Amino acid sequence: MSEMNSIKKILREQKIDQWDIYVEEAEQYEIQLRNFDVEAERGPVTNSGYSVRIIKPKNKKIGIGIGTGNSLQPEHIKRCLDTASIGADITEFPGYIMPKPETFSTVKIADHEIMSDAESVVKDKTEQLQSLLKRSKTVLPTFGKIRAYTVSTRINNSEGVQAEKKETLLYIELALKAAREGKLAEYWPTRTVRRAEDLQLEQQIPKWTKLAEDTLNAKAPKTMKASVIFAPDTLGNLLPDTVGFHCLGSTVFKGVSKFNKGDQVGSSDLTVYDDGLYNYGLGSSPFDDEGTPQSRTVLIEKGLHKNFLYDAMYGAVLKANSTGNGQRMRQIDLKYSALPSLQPSNIVVKPGNMSLDEMLETTKEGIYVERFSAAQSDPLTTSFGSEIRNAYLIEKGELSTPLKGGQISGFLLNSQEAKGEKTIGLINRVSGMTREFQMARRCITPYIRFESVQVSGK
């Protein structure tokens, strides 16, 4: 707590009334592979820093400034506070209510194994990865990296909030190559988990190598409308950037949300939560980055829009309680340098009743997509389109020809066209969700089948 006390001492000396302090200490270890060989071993790489936000009420507005620092020498803390104070003097925000002390829920976000010896975990996982990959005779790694983080965070504010947490992350990125008769194919997965055991390399490597092998026989799809099953990994960005985005109080305030409370916004079997307390979720934490307890909020229930999300700013402006969604959106070892903004925590889609096998069996003709090039949607318009990297045609209820190339596109949410016509968004064309679900970045979702999806090819 010495850094907190050093900063608080100067805040008191400068008679600053409203403030919060965010202190972060992060350390990482990493191994990078070139084929089966170790190309680089990195660590410890440490980054520790703090930021101070100063809030100054103005005539009907609020000024908020932030200063950051890495050094606890008094002149450096003073410089940080000067920057924050100037920021508070010159900026204008519509409102802000500083979080008050509350009880935090328990949520699991740290792996004891990584916390106690991250370097050994990275080395063990690398050896396991090398060993598993050597079992394949046809698929080779071209590169890989495994990186572990341990991070501790403390937040104090002028209202008396005192919050503290320790968390871990483990990241893997791997490119698997299959080659035959001059043809090349790849499966290029990434995964971020909280616990070492959740990497599940024993289960994942056979699946990933098969995807690389199958893609050797891939063809580009035809241009058509089709039933398309999206694997969880493909939905990991699409749903938070669209459903999550349009549930933010900030989008209501700015007049760009496509949702109104009570409206039918999705298929009747679609239920979506923002769950900041999902054990080992990447967006999970007992408290958000402003010191407000994180929570579970129903966003869409049976297709009906239920609630919006708030942080301390938009809660104050829209006269709602913060749902604990004030997030500093930077890589984990740099969060201290960012201003909090209103963001979803974990977007959780309620699973369905059918198995993935049953979903395939009940799809006469369609496409199953395991991975796009970069599945991203425009948050504002919810338009998306992406090149197919690893997919299969579905014929008579079974996976058949592998697909690569061409595109799949559409709008995630209902959209207005130029001539007044409406395009029905994908989440209104859900025809099935599986029992199986996975965590993909900040999204926990089943496989979802959408109907009448635009496919573009030759």
Partner 1 sequence: MIDGSSSEEAKDMLADAIGILEDEVEYADALCERVQGVQIAKDKAEERVSAPPTAVSGIVLRAYKLGQWREAGTYSFSGKEVRELARKIAKFQPMSKTAVKLQELKPWKLDATLAVKIMPSEVETEEKLEQVRRLYNSAMSCDKRIINTTVGFADVTSERTFANTEGSMLRQVIPRTSVFLMPVAREGGKIDYDYLSTGGNAGFEVVKDLEEKIIKETVDSSIGLLKASAPPSGHFTVILDPGMTGTFAHESFGHGCEADQIVRKRSYLVPYFGKRMGFEKLSICDDGSVAGGNGSFLFDDEGVKSKKNYILKNGVLKSFLHERFSASLMNAEPTGNGRRESFLRKLFVRMTNTYVEPSDYSLDEMIEEIDNGVMLVHSVSGMEDPLAGGMELKSKKGYVIERGKVGRILSTLTLSEKVPDFIASIDAIGTKDQFDTEIGTCGKGYEDFIPVGDGGVFIRGRAVVGQG
For residues 79 and 435, which CB has a smaller minimum distance to partner 1 in the complex?
79
Tokens of 426: 């994908």
For residues 351 and 405, which CB has a smaller minimum distance to partner 1 in the complex?
405
CA angle at 267 for the pair 262 and 273, rounded to the nearest 5°: 65
For residues 186 and 370, which CB has a smaller minimum distance to partner 1 in the complex?
186
Tokens of 174: 């791997």
Contact, 318 vs 312, CB < 8 A? no
Paired strand residues for 228: 367, 450
For residues 179 and 298, which CB has a smaller minimum distance to partner 1 in the complex?
179
Contact, 215 vs 180, CB < 8 A? no
Q: How many whole angstroms from its chain centre is CA 409?
A: 21
CB of 254 to partner 1, least distance (A): 5
CB of 77 to partner 1, least distance (A): 9
For residues 177 and 306, which CB has a smaller minimum distance to partner 1 in the complex?
177
CB of 117 to partner 1, least distance (A): 16
d(CA 33, CA 407): 31
For residues 262 and 420, which CB has a smaller minimum distance to partner 1 in the complex?
420
CB of 185 to partner 1, least distance (A): 6
CA angle at 373 for the pair 371 and 375, rounded to the nearest 5°: 75
CB of 62 to partner 1, least distance (A): 10
For residues 172 and 205, which CB has a smaller minimum distance to partner 1 in the complex?
172
For residues 122 and 394, which CB has a smaller minimum distance to partner 1 in the complex?
122
Tell me the torsion sign for CA atoms 65, 69, 73, 75: negative
d(CA 19, CA 50): 13
For residues 58 and 112, which CB has a smaller minimum distance to partner 1 in the complex?
58
Closest CA to 215 of 189, 174, 173, 178: 178
CB of 291 to partner 1, least distance (A): 18
Give the type of residue at 237.
N
d(CA 300, CA 146): 36
- The phi and psi torsions of 194 (rounded to 5 degrees) equal -85, -35
CA distances from 258 to 286, 380, 386, 417 (A): 30, 9, 23, 14
CB of 215 to partner 1, least distance (A): 8
CB of 290 to partner 1, least distance (A): 14
Give the type of residue at 131.
S
SS3 state of residue 321: coil
> Looking up tokens 């509350």, which residue turns up?
102
Contacts of 403 (CB under 8 A, 6+ apart): 218, 219, 220, 221, 367, 388, 391, 392, 393
CB of 334 to partner 1, least distance (A): 6
